Chains A and B, each alone.
Chain A
Amino acid sequence: MTSIESKDIHKIVVACDAGMGSSVMLASTLRKELKKLGIEVTHTPVNQIPGDADIVICHVGLAQRAAVSAPSKILIPFQVFLGDPAVTKLVATIKSGGTVHA
């Protein structure tokens, strides 16, 4: 899958190595931003991405592992844990009801 409409997004997964640190912080920030839109945001280790995830967000250093672990998902890699342009763009696109591209 290479793109998804905002209305079809129900679950976003933030993946990191242990699901212990950075992904937790990013997920908590996103959860607050997207709660009103009814989108569930969770965090998991990169090798345990759930099948019902619509979008996977992970650090660029983990993108390859995420692509192997969840090959059919739209993957948004980021570099900075807070305020990354890719994540900011994702939120803006979802809030405006646009199409999210991998």
Chain B
Amino acid sequence: MLEPAAVRLDAVATGRDDAIRQCGEALLAVGAIDSSYVDSMIQRERSISTYVGEGVAIPHGTLDGKESVRRDALSFVRFPDGVDWDGNLVQVCIGIAAKGDGHIGILSSLARILMDPAQAKTLRETNDAEAVIELLAPVGEDEDE
């Protein structure tokens, strides 16, 4: 779902749309989408922000954009200097391409991480792609707290 080739830890963006394009390019690089999906990600962001808190946004396409998804995949792009995201400062973008439910485990992990400020900080600051993948490793939804 989240492959090392789709993890970029040292990106720079001129703004929100540029950051989204880079998330899309990482998805394109691993063959998860057709390039038209990237425009659908930007369109989606214009209707409702995908900022989820703790300096993290999760850009993804629209319902129509699903047709441009080849397989479920995620990308992780970090902008150490931050990107202005409609007034919020975003340092981590997790791009989502999904036609099935393959990404749900990782998003569940992300929700858990974001509710723990210390883990969220690690996600924003670690320089190790493997550590990012490990941190976001899917947790079973049936797992008891």
Interface residues, chain A, CB within 8 Å of chain B?
A: 16-22, 24-26, 28-29, 31-32, 45, 47, 59, 61-62, 80-83
Contacts and interface: CB of A to CB of B under 8 A. Distances in A.
Interface stretch (B28-36, B77-85, B96-104, B125-133): B96-104
Interface stretch (B2-10, B12-20, B53-61): B53-61
B62 A83 contact: no
Contacts of A20: 60-61, 66, 96, 98, 103
A99 to B, nearest CB: 27
Contacts, number: 67
A82 B114 contact: yes
Contacts of A25: 52, 58, 107-108, 110-111
A22 B108 contact: no
Interface in B31-81: 44, 47-48, 50-53, 58-63, 65-66
A21 B44 CA distance: 11
Given A20-B96, A22-B58, 14 more contacts: A16-B48, A18-B60, A18-B62, A19-B63, A20-B66, A21-B60, A21-B96, A24-B103, A24-B107, A25-B58, A32-B141, A81-B53, A82-B53, A82-B115
